[in-house]
Amino acid sequence: MTLLQWAFDGLLGITLIWLAWRTLASADLFKAIVLFIAFGLLMSLAWVRLNAPDIALAEAAIGAGLTGALLLVALARLNVVAAQTGDIESNTKQISAPEDSARTTAVVGQGVSNKHNLFQYFLVLMLSAVAAGLAYAVLSLPSEAPGLSRDVAENLNVSGVSNPVTAVLLNFRGYDTLLEMAVLLLALLGVWSLNRLPEQYESSPGLVLDMLSRLLVPLLLLVAGYLLWVGSRAPGGAFQAGSVLAAAGVLLLLAGWRPAARFLGWPLRFALIIGLAVFVSVALLMMLPGGQLLQLPPAFAGALILLIETAATLSIGVTLAALFYGSRPRSEQIPPHHTGSGGENE
């Protein structure tokens, strides 16, 4: 461990903390989100330094990228509601006056009044104590611990893949991942179950974005495919690939593209659940020859994992994009007023 590395790590740590603080404390919410995205990117760097390239990819794509996009679009909607109080769906209650809302977006963050000062100091004191205690607990851990690395290494050759992270995710602890897919689906169900949000404001995509999307989307699809394929050996895998796929979808949505109505019915639903469905089916099928739930026989493990991952990638991509879009498409009832003409599906 050279001094330079030390300095780099130290600097990275301090920058992370500083960025986090600025994110949380900045008066402007837009600025806060941008800072948060920057924070996410730096986190990826930290993951690389920690020898965790898989996480770095996931963090960059999901943590910084998609979360950032979600945050931005949410903020935009918050502002749309604020700005266009009058003309959006007059039947929904709009209590807030425009100037009130404007203030909300601008300076809300500073809304900690003085009378809370004492409480604030107390809180700082308490939390410092908590942090100190935690730090002490962490530092008291032995400086070397193999964790489960040996177990993973020993079983890697029968797992069907050579990337240990993928092995853990889809084989050793595949059950976690199964439930995790359910969480993702759940988030979408939850979002859809809320009543319709006000329509995202329609900015004309602009030439650059339009061009960019035409150029980038095929590229992103390619990257997603690559990540999926390579995941068995090198950093990559379903989640990373899925989020890249989602990025492509987000880009298309931003460019004003809307899928044709006929894809919004059960094809969309099917795409959303295919990952989980395949996962569950595989899990159950493995029980047929007398194995345990999710017991992948070493001979087919590689192929099965790839199958699961492919389906999962598609579902993750579509789910994340749908989360970005927000409300449930008016699928069965009314055809959406799609502006884009591109009816191609991914």
Partner 1 sequence: MLIVLPLIGTLLCFLLPRQVKALGLMTALAIAASAVALLWQLLQQGAMRYSVGGWGAPLGIDLYADGLSLLMLLITATVGLAISIYANAAFKLDKLVHFWPLWLLLWTALNALFLSADLFNLYVSLELLGLSAVALVALAGGSAALGAAMRYLLVSLLGSMLYLLGLALLYHSFASVDIAILAQRMESTPAVWAAMALMTVGLLLKTALFPLHFWLPPAHANAPAAVSALLSALVVKGSFYILLRLWLEVFPLSHAAPGQLLGLLGAAAILWGGVQALRQTRLKMLIAYSTVSQLGYLFIAFPLATTMAWKGAMYLLLSHALAKSAMFLAAGNLLLFGGHDRITQLDRVAQRLPLTLAAFALAGVSIIGLPISGGFIGKWLLLTAAMQSGEWGWAVVMILGSLLAAAYIFKVIGYAFTQAEVTHEACEVSKTMGATAFVLALAAIVLGLIAPWLLALMDIAEPFAMSSAALNAGAAA
Partner 2 sequence: MNNAYLYALTGIVLFTLGLYALIIYSHLLRKILAINIMASGVFLQLVALSTRARPLLDAVPHAMVITGIVVAVSATALALALMLRLRDASGSAELIEESTE
Which one of partner 1, partner 2, none interacts with residue 123, CB within 5 to 8 A by kind?
partner 2
Q: Which of 37, 58, 272, 304 binds partner 1 (CB under 8 A)?
A: 272
**Using rule CB under 8 A, residue 178 touches partner 2:** no
**Using rule CB under 8 A, residue 288 touches partner 1:** no
The set of residues, in sequence order, having a beta carbon less than 8 Å from that of 153 and lying 6+ positions away, is 164
The set of residues, in sequence order, having a beta carbon less than 8 Å from that of 158 and lying 6+ positions away, is 298, 301
Q: What angle do CA 136, 138, 141 make, to 5 degrees?
A: 110
**Using rule CB under 8 A, residue 134 touches partner 2:** yes
CB of residue 82 vs partner 1: minimum separation in angstroms?
A: 17
The set of residues, in sequence order, having a beta carbon less than 8 Å from that of 249 and lying 6+ positions away, is 317, 318, 320, 321, 324, 346
Which one of partner 2, partner 1, none interacts with residue 90, CB within 5 to 8 A by kind?
none
The set of residues, in sequence order, having a beta carbon less than 8 Å from that of 241 and lying 6+ positions away, is 223, 224, 225, 226, 227, 228, 231, 309, 313, 316, 317
Residues within window 70-129 making contact with partner 2, judged by CB under 8 A: 70-71, 74-75, 77-78, 81, 92-96, 104, 108-109, 111-112, 116, 120, 123-124, 127-128
Q: Which of 6, 21, 226, 270 binds partner 1 (CB under 8 A)?
A: 270
**Using rule CB under 8 A, residue 174 touches partner 1:** yes
**What is the DSSP code string of 14-82?**
HHHHHHHHHHHH-S-HHHHHHHHHHHHHHHHHHHHHTT-HHHHHHIIIIIIIIHHHHHHHHHHHHHHHH
Residues within window 112-141 making contact with partner 1, judged by CB under 8 A: 133-134, 136-138, 140-141
Q: Which of 147, 288, 334, 341 binds partner 1 (CB under 8 A)?
A: 147
Q: How many residues in the shown chain lie near partner 1 by CB under 8 A?
A: 49
φ, ψ for residue 271, nearest 5 deg: -60, -35
Q: Which is nearer to partner 1, 144 or 202 (CB)?
A: 144
CB 304 within 8 A of CB 296: yes
Q: Site residues (CB under 8 A) for partner 1? A: 133-134, 136-138, 140-141, 145-148, 151-152, 155, 171-176, 179-180, 182-183, 185-187, 189-190, 192-195, 266, 269-270, 272-273, 276-277, 280, 283-284, 291-296
